[in-house]
Amino acid sequence: MSSREGNTVRLLLTVEQAAQRLGIGRTLMYALVRDGDVESVQIGRLRRIPADALARYVDQLRTALPQPDDTAA
């Protein structure tokens, strides 16, 4: 296997891989999937997370953050 093949960007991640990328635990990742906060797909009996679903989830978190109040200064 060449180093290029070893660095393949995966389109779909396991729940464990997705949790590792977000820096959270597996249990919380399963909860985010169960609650529909993070998109997932099913392939047969396997549950997978599209890699771009993680970026969308993080974007949602960013837009949900309260913006600093400029008039407080």
CA distance 52 to 39: 9
Q: Quick check: is 57 in a domain?
A: no
| Domain-located, residue 35 | yes
User: How many domains are contained in the chain?
Assistant: 1
30 belongs to a structural domain? yes
For the chain, give the percent of residues with pLDDT over 70.
Answer: 84
Question: pTM higher than 0.85, yes or no?
Answer: no
Residue 68 domain flag? no
What are the DSSP calls for 6-67, one per residue? HTPPPSEE-HHHHHHHHT--HHHHHHHHHTTSS--EEETTEEEEEHHHHHHHHHHHHHHSPP
State which residues form the domain around 39.
15-48
Is residue 61 assigned to a domain?
Answer: no
- Is residue 22 domain-resident? yes
Residue 42 lies in a domain: yes
Asked, for residue 64, whether it belongs to a domain, the answer is: no
Contact 12, 41 (CB under 8 A): yes
Asked if residue 72 has pLDDT above 80, the reply is: no
Per DSSP bridges, beta strands 41-43 and 12-13 are unpaired
Predicted confidence (pLDDT) per residue in 3-22, tens digit:
455 678 889 999 999 999 99
